[in-house]
Amino acid sequence: MPLLTVANLRKVYGGHTPVDGISFDIEAGKCVALLGPNGAGKTTTLRMLAGLLKPTSGEISFDGSPGGDYRKRIGYLPQSPAFYNWMSGQEYVVFAAKLCGIASKEAAGLAADVLEQVGLRDAARRKIAGYSGGMKQRLGLAQALIHRPRLLLLDEPVSALDPIGRREVMELLRGIREETTVIFSTHVLHDAEEICDDIILMNHGLIAEHGALSRLRSQYSIPVIRLTTEREEKAQRWLEDLAHRSFVEQSAVSPGSATLNVKNVELVRQIILQEAGSLDIPLLQFEAGSSTLEDLFMKVVGA
């Protein structure tokens, strides 16, 4: 049984529909990326899953019970968390623990454990005002983890960070995902590829693609050949001629270069290299590979 089942979830604001009927399941133990460009509906979806925003329609079931109050079993990190800068990290996490209904004497011990887990033990007594962006984001994770939730909802946990902060938080997530089911939103495919099992690709409030990363990778992996030549007339004519051959499924030709989607890379490689030699084409670059999820992402997002 999935940990979370979402059926036909919709949110309408006035004439606007940021989430337009989405359905998916999340299996326990998975790390799922909610991927999509700005305005896709990621934050609206996560806020509904977190119980902070009432859906206009649709149903969310947690652990098999539709409509139940599961808020105590989830942790949530908003896109732009607001902290009380006058508090220390320790005070803030204890405060979050008490909001979850954890008793004071238990809260201090749990806070110390979770601050250790996110690498803030030494900074725990410092004021949050003096924390870096990466430290604040890790404090946000500590707050979301304090009650050991079964599901962690993280809204763009690394988007606002510099490369060092980003690396710190990604490493931390790598450990957290071993213990907890995680859904995190991002507009960067690379983040998703780094640690996720599954992706849900959203655009304009709808799910454009959904599934295991490994399956999507092989499904969208089409052999492709990229060629670059000197910019001269004979070479250009050859590139354009190649693009119309029967072994090319799709092509894009521009001055001095061509990208060809082909069926059989090996065969086409031989033909191209042989012709380039016999016709004396000034070939600068030849690359055989496959199209990637990035191409899929760009296609969906660019549409």
CA distance 44 to 51: 11
Q: Which stretch binds ligand ATP (CB under 6 A): 34-42, 68-76, 164-172, 212-220?
A: 34-42
Binding mask 37-56 for ligand ATP (x = CB under 6 A): -xxxxxxx------------
Whole-angstrom CA distances from 290 to 188, 204, 220, 228 are 20, 28, 9, 17
149 contacts: CB under 8 Å, gap ≥ 6: 73, 74, 75, 180
CA distance 105 to 102: 9
Strand partners, 212: 198
Is residue 15 within the footprint of ligand ATP (CB under 6 A)? no
- Residue 157 binding partner per list Mg ion, ligand ATP, none, with a CB distance cut-off of 5 to 8 Å that depends on partner kind: none
Q: How many chain residues are in contact with ligand ATP, going by CB under 6 A?
A: 13
| Phi and psi based region of residue 226 (left: phi greater than 0; alpha: psi -120 to 50; beta: remaining) | beta
Which residues of the shown chain bind Mg ion in the complex (CB under 5 A)? 42-43, 79
- Minimum Å gap between C-beta 23 and ligand ATP is 17
Q: Which of residues 51-80 bind ligand ATP (CB under 6 A)?
A: 79
CA distance 297 to 22: 18
Is residue 16 within the footprint of ligand ATP (CB under 6 A)? yes
Is residue 149 within the footprint of ligand ATP (CB under 6 A)? no
Q: Which stretch binds ligand ATP (CB under 6 A): 33-41, 97-105, 106-114, 274-282?
A: 33-41
- Residue 105 binding partner per list ligand ATP, Mg ion, none, with a CB distance cut-off of 5 to 8 Å that depends on partner kind: none
**250-259 LR contacts (CB < 8 Å, sep 24+):** 255/231, 256/228, 256/229, 256/230, 256/231, 256/284, 257/226, 257/227, 257/228, 257/229, 258/226, 258/227, 259/224, 259/225, 259/226, 259/227
Is residue 105 within the footprint of ligand ATP (CB under 6 A)? no
- Residue 291 binding partner per list ligand ATP, Mg ion, none, with a CB distance cut-off of 5 to 8 Å that depends on partner kind: none
C-beta nearest to ligand ATP: residue: 18
Is residue 154 within the footprint of ligand ATP (CB under 6 A)? no
Q: Which of residues 158-197 bind ligand ATP (CB under 6 A)?
A: 187
Residues of this chain that bind ligand ATP (CB under 6 A): 13, 16, 18, 36, 38-44, 79, 187
